[in-house]
Structure 1
Amino acid sequence: MSLFDMLQQVLADSGLGWLALDERQLVFMLTTPVFIGVFAWEYLKIRHDPALVEGREALRNFALGAGYQTTELLFAGLIAFPVYAFAYHHRLLDIPLNLFTAALLWLLTDFCFYWMHRSSHRVRWLWAAHVTHHSSERMNFSTAMRQNATNIFNGGWLFYVPLALIGFNPVWIGVCYALSLVYQFFIHTTLVGRLHPAIEFVFNTPNHHRVHHARNPDYVDTNYGGVFIVFDRLFGTFTCERADQPIEYGITRPPQHNNRLWMHWLHEYLDLARDIRKPGPLRQRLQHLWRPPEWQRGDD
Structure 2
Amino acid sequence: METLKLIFDHLNGWGLTVILLVTGLAEFSLGLYRNWKLNEKLTDLSSLLFGRLIFPVFLSYFALKFFPSVIPQYKDVLSWVPFWWGFFILCIADDLTQYWYHRLHHEVEWLWRFHRTHHSAPYMGMAMASRQNFIYTLLFPQIYVTITLTFLGLGLPALFVRGIKGVITTMAHSSIKWDKPLYTIKWLHPVAWVLERTISLPATHHAHHAAHEHDGIGHYHGNYGNMFFLWDVLFRTAKITRKYPEEYGLEDYPEDPWYAQVLYPLIKSNKEGSDLAK
**TM-score for both structures, normalised by structure 2:** 0.68
Of 85, 92, 96, 1:101 maps to: 85
Q: Secondary structure at the match of 1:202?
A: coil
Of 205, 209, 214, 2:210 maps to: 214
Where does structure 1 lack aligned partners over 5 or more consecutive residues?
A: 1-22, 273-292, 294-300
CA distance 1:97–1:39, shift in 2 (3 Å):
farther
Of 141, 146, 151, 2:126 maps to: 141
Does the alignment pair 1:65 with 2:48?
Answer: yes
CA RMSD between the two structures: 4.2
Contact between 1:68 and 1:151, CA under 8 Å: does it hold in 2?
no
Of 198, 205, 215, 2:201 maps to: 205
Of 117, 122, 127, 1:132 maps to: 117
Residue number in structure 1 paired with 2:272: none
What is the distance in 1 between the residues matched to 2:56 and 2:237? 33
What is the distance in 1 between the residues matched to 2:163 and 2:114? 18
What is the distance in 1 between the residues matched to 2:9 and 2:64? 12
Q: 1:209-246, CA deviations, whole angstroms, 9 ceiling, x for partnerless residues?
A: 10111232461221111222111011111112487x94
Residue number in structure 2 paired with 1:248: 247
Contact between 2:221 and 2:237, CA under 8 Å: does it hold in 1?
yes
What is the distance in 2 between the residues matched to 1:171 and 1:34? 22
Residue number in structure 2 paired with 1:112: 97
Residue number in structure 1 paired with 2:58: 75
Contact between 1:75 and 1:152, CA under 8 Å: does it hold in 2?
no
Q: 1:229-280, CA deviations, whole angstroms, 9 ceiling, x for partnerless residues?
A: 111011111112487x94431135425533xx422212466669xxxxxxxx
Contact between 1:232 and 1:238, CA under 8 Å: does it hold in 2?
yes
Residue number in structure 2 paired with 1:287: none
Deviation at 1:106, TM superposition (A): 4.7
Listed as ranges, the matches of 1:144-293 within 5 Å are: 144-157=129-142, 160=145, 164=149, 169=154, 172-173=157-158, 176-177=161-162, 179-192=164-177, 193-194=179-180, 195=182, 196-217=192-213, 219-241=219-241, 246-251=245-250, 253-258=252-257, 261-267=258-264
Deviation at 1:207, TM superposition (A): 0.7
CA distance 1:76–1:50, shift in 2 (3 Å):
same
Where does structure 2 lack aligned partners over 5 or more consecutive residues?
A: 1-7, 183-191, 270-274
What is the distance in 1 between the residues matched to 2:253 and 2:219? 17
Q: 1:154-181, CA deviations, whole angstroms, 9 ceiling, x for partnerless residues?
A: 3534673697399663674466245413
